[in-house]
Structures are given as C-alpha cells and as structure tokens.
Chain A
C-alpha cells in the first residue's frame, strides 16, 4: 500500500530564513512524488513533482524538493521564506508499480507559518 508521512503538523520560520517541510513515503515500487499548497478556502495548487532524473527538482514560487531514495524522503525547501508562503502544504505519492492513472495519496499536511 502507498502512504505518505508528514511528521510535523506545524513549521514556524522567520521571514528570510530557509524553510524545510518534511515528507517520507512508502510504496511497493518506485514513486512519483508531488507537493501541493493550499491557501485558506482555496483548492490545492500544484508546486512541483519528481518523476525521474535529477534528485533536486525546482517548482513554482522558488520552492524546490530533494528526492532521497535511500531515506524514502522528498522534503520541500525554499532558501528564503516569505510571509506569503504561509499556508498548508501537502506531499503526495503515486506508486509506479500500480498500472494506470491511480489517485494520489496525500500526507496529512503541514501548516507553515512565516513570521515577519
């Protein structure tokens, strides 16, 4: 079975400091990995994905994520946080071993608060 763990319910960071939001996954095969952001009363917005190739992927709004196969992790990072980055962040996985366009499985979300 596929699963995603986001071990932190809340991450607080000062504006201008680097941020990291953690994600680990479990799949039977190799993963497709995704990060989404949700602002209050809004839908989920796609930030970035890892499919194959370079372990460091870059996405929207200056975010990047590093795939680490040995640690089964896909942590989200940003070198310099903005107050406007404050939101709920979700990590998601799809198992390549399952054929077809199967639904994403999401972590429980991490609330990021960037303090001015």
Chain B
C-alpha cells in the first residue's frame, strides 16, 4: 500500500496552461506539505497544511494555489505555467513534531 501517492508522475505542458497535481496520504497524518526540487536537487518547502488549514506559504507566486478538501488530500493547482516552474514537486506528510515526513514519488513537471 502506497503511503503518500501523487498523480501524475510526469506532466508535460505548454507555457500559459493551468495544471493540477493531486496528493493523497493514507497514514492518518495531520500535516501535509508541498516541496519543490529544482534542477540542482535543492528541496524547498512551498506550503504546509495542518488539518486542512494553511499554516505556511513560503513566498510562492500566487499562481500556485494549494487545496486541501480533507486532511488526507492536498492538491496543487498552478495557473499560467512558466518555464521556470519546471521542476519535481513532492508531496509529503507527517504526524508528530518529532516524526519524519514521508514523501510521495514526485511529479516531474516540464513546461515547454
């Protein structure tokens, strides 16, 4: 059973399009995150949600809008895609403050 699952795994789209990435966790965790991994493999937090509420938004352009319909899901919608949005996006979840985060397999977004 996959603990944190993201769809799609690959996403190729043209500049200016709008796209969504879905994430689901079956671990019963209260907190979910979106991270961006750039071409140099650097991981940067984008958003953090706790029990469906946004608690952290790390200077991400407002073209990126997360949505959490329930605490097991955290989707990422991106409007007006730009070339610089090309990256791997990882969803993750965690429970306790001392607990590790568990990551999905990633979504490789390529904007052409």
Contacts and interface: CB of A to CB of B under 8 A. Distances in A.
Interface of A: 32, 34, 36, 38, 41-46, 49, 51, 88, 90, 94, 96, 100-106, 108-109
Interface residues of B, number: 30
Interface of B: 4, 30-31, 33, 35, 40-43, 45, 48, 50, 55-56, 90, 92, 94-106, 108
A51 B98 contact: yes
11 contacts: A32-B97, A38-B41, A41-B108, A43-B106, A46-B100, A94-B97, A101-B30, A101-B50, A104-B101, A108-B40, A109-B43
Given A90-B43, A96-B97, A102 B56 contact: yes
Contacts, number: 64
Nearest to B42: A108
A2 B98 CA distance: 15
The winner among A36, A90, A102 for most chain B CB atoms within 10 A is A102
